[in-house]
Amino acid sequence: MNFPQIRLESQYAKLELRTTPSQLSMEQENAQVLIEQPKADLKIETTPSKLTIDQTEAWADMDLKSMFRRTRDETDKARNDVLEGIARRAQEGMDLMKIEQGGNPIPQHAKVNSQNPWKEFNIGWIPSHFSVKTSYEPSKVNIDWQVNQPRFDVKENSLNIDYTPAKVEVNLAQHQSLKVDFANLRYVGINYEQEI
């Protein structure tokens, strides 16, 4: 048996989406840093050391005296000899004044005055110990310094941002459609007839 049929064939619409992703670009140049460190101010003052060597006594021990020293020494020796001679004669006079108290002062004085004193001998060209006088004054160092602080100059560079937003394109790739088909129907006038 043939029943009348209505056949529907539909097709959905299809959308096409095209996207372009967003792009973000950031650039920043390095900051410019200028650092200056002035040198420290350093001032050094030194007083030179002083070494004094006095060899006067050493030369005198070797009988190499200056004219002034020799004159002074001979004058002192002559004065001492005169004083010793006066003291000796005064003592002899005292002995002679007391002759009545006994003793024989004249032969004793003659014996003492006739004998020469013993000569002392020593190596004469070697100076005595510590005859060279030394004096040392060390140097003095004065140090004065001043530290200078570093100077900083910083220049910051701005941040460059480049942003491209995302894009979405929407297109209709396929239109919707509806197809209607009839089977086993006949047209009679404005109506349909069915055959069974």
What does each C-alpha distance from 8 to 5, 181, 183 come to in angstroms?
A: 10, 6, 11
Contact 20, 167 (CB under 8 A): yes
Task: Please tell me the pTM assigned to this model.
Answer: 0.39
Which among 165, 142, 149 has a CA at the least distance from the CA of 22?
165
Q: pLDDT digits over 152-177, tens only?
A: 999 988 888 999 999 999 998 888 88
Domains of the chain by residue range = 1-36+155-196, 63-117
Residue 94 to residue 158: CA distance in whole angstroms: 122
User: Where is mean pLDDT largest: 40-54, 56-70, 118-132, 168-182?
Assistant: 40-54
pLDDT band at 196 (very low <50, low <70, confident <90, very high): very low
pLDDT band at 180 (very low <50, low <70, confident <90, very high): confident
Alpha helices by DSSP H, the chain: 56-61, 67-97, 105-114
Amino acid at 123: I
Q: What is the pLDDT of residue 82?
A: 95
Which among 142, 152, 173 has a CA at the least distance from the CA of 44?
142
Whether residue 135 is predicted with pLDDT greater than 50 in this model: the reply is: yes
Whether residue 108 is predicted with pLDDT greater than 90 in this model: the reply is: no
Residues 6+ apart with CB under 8 A from 164: 22, 23, 24
